[in-house]
Amino acid sequence: MRKPTIAHDELHIAHSAKEDGGICLQLLNIGFGSMVSAERLLAVVSPDSAPIKRIVQEGKERGTAIDATYGRKTKAVLIMDSDHIVLSALTPEVLAARLNGEEPAGRDERDG
C-alpha cells in the first residue's frame, strides 16, 4: 500500500490510495496540520451551547477529547463515531467547506 498523498492540497483533503487505485481513506485538515478521518466524522458543531460544553467536559474527563487547537480558541467541536471529541480552532463553516471540496473565503490558520 502506498503512503498517503495529498491529492487536493488546495482543498485541504488528503486521500490514501489502495493498490487497485481505489480510495480507502479521506482525511480532513482541521487546522495546523492536524487531520481526522472524514468517514468517521458524525458532526461538526459550534462549541457555544451548554449541551456541547457538557459533551466536551465529559470527553475531557473520560480522556476521549482531543485538543487540536494548538492553544487557540475552540471554534468547532468534531464528534467522531468512536466517541471521541476533537476540538478545532477553525470554524464549522470552514470545515464544512473543506469537506465539500470548496475553499471558503476569509481567514484560515495561516492568517494568525
> Which residues pair with residue 44 across a beta bridge?
78
* pLDDT, tens digit, 9 for 90 and up, residues 2-52: 444 444 444 455 665 566 666 568 999 999 999 999 999 999 999 999 999
Whole-number pLDDT of residue 13: 56
**Angular region, 101: left φ>0, alpha ψ -120 to 50, beta rest:** left
Whole-number pLDDT of residue 111: 38
